[in-house]
Amino acid sequence: IVLTQSPGTLSLSPGERVTLSCTASQTVSSSSVAWYQQKPGQPPRLLIYATSSRATGIPDRFSGDGSGTDFTLTISRLEPGDFAVYYCQHYGSSLWTFGQGSNVDIK
Amino acid sequence: DVQLVQSGADVKKPGESLKISCRTSGYPFPNYWIAWVRQLPGRGLDCMAMIYPSDYDTRYSPAFQGHVTISADRSTNSAYLHFHSLEASDTATYYCVTLVTGINYWGRGTLVTVSS
């Protein structure tokens, strides 16, 4: 399964809303899609699992949605700490795969 | 709490072998998949291989099959990644990741540098 993320890079200002997309090459289970945030020098931080469940400690401005082959991560109001790279992931008993990442940087 | 503690950074020469480790705690190790994920400097995430410790079932990415071997030790709740013959292009950070009741847990990463 290949995951394709869009856009690759976007420049935004604090307070703006952003929606990142992740498209799978074939239908996947909604229970097997996650989203991560990664900052330089740090491991990925789990934001969302099972398409729409927020991980422990993740604020509610982060939300996930989708089904079939199309999944999204929305940040309702960007805060300074949200500028980072975001990855989607498909996981389960088959080999896990990741999207190529979306870089959200400050305008 | 689920914890994954990885071995420390290492510097190797091309052609050398290396085995990095990931010691786990806080969950029943045999019952959940554990994987190794590579991140090249400034690049994305690649799942290299995964293992189910209960029966040692493995999955390999074609890109890494034959170059590495994943293993697990149920007596120490640890997973390992063995590089048979390192190349400069193996310079990267390697993460172990486990999937427990639908949630992924990550180690802090092991930086491997391959340089002559």
Contact B107 A43 (CB under 8 A): yes
Q: For B68-85, what is each residue's pLDDT tens digit?
A: 999 999 999 999 999 999
Contact B104 A95 (CB under 8 A): no
Average pLDDT, chain A: 95
Q: Please determine, for residue B101, whether its predicted confidence score (pLDDT) is greater than 80.
A: yes
Does residue A2 sit in helix, strand or coil?
A: coil
pLDDT for the residue B65: 95
Q: Which residues of A touch B33 (CB under 8 A)?
A: 93
Q: Please determine, for residue A93, whether its predicted confidence score (pLDDT) is greater than 80.
A: no
Q: Which residues of A touch B99 (CB under 8 A)?
A: 91-92
Q: For A16-55, what is each residue's pLDDT tens digit?
A: 999 999 999 999 999 999 999 999 999 999 999 999 999 9
pLDDT for the residue A92: 80
Whether B45 and chain A come into contact, CB under 8 Å, resolves to: yes
pLDDT for the residue B26: 97
Nearest CA distance, B21 vs chain A (angstrom): 17
pLDDT for the residue B13: 97
Whether B94 and chain A come into contact, CB under 8 Å, resolves to: no
Which residue's entry shows tokens 């554990």?
A: B34
For β-strands A102-106 and A9-12, DSSP reports them as parallel
pLDDT for the residue A62: 98
Mean pLDDT, residues B14-31: 97
Q: For B42-72, what is each residue's pLDDT tens digit?
A: 999 999 999 999 999 999 999 999 999 999 9
pLDDT for the residue B102: 85
Whether A98 and chain B come into contact, CB under 8 Å, resolves to: yes
pLDDT for the residue B96: 98
Cα separation of B17 and A75, whole Å? 43
Q: For A53-80, what is each residue's pLDDT tens digit?
A: 999 999 999 999 999 999 999 999 999 9
Which residue's entry shows tokens 């500028």?
A: A83
DSSP letters spanning chain B: --EEEEPPPEEE-TT--EEEEEEEESS-GGGS-EEEEEE-TT--EEEEEEEETTTTEEEE-TTTBTTEEEEEETTTTEEEEEESS--GGG-EEEEEEEEETTEEEE---EEEEE--
For β-strands B10-12 and B110-114, DSSP reports them as parallel
Q: Which two tokens stand for residue B40?
A: 């090249």
Q: Which two tokens stand for residue B96?
A: 């172990």
CB contact burial A11-37 (16+ within 10 A = b; e otherwise): ebeeeeebebbbbbeeebeeebbbbbb
Cα separation of A47 and A76, whole Å? 14
Cα separation of B24 and B32, whole Å? 11
Contact A44 B99 (CB under 8 A): no
Cα separation of A43 and A21, whole Å? 21
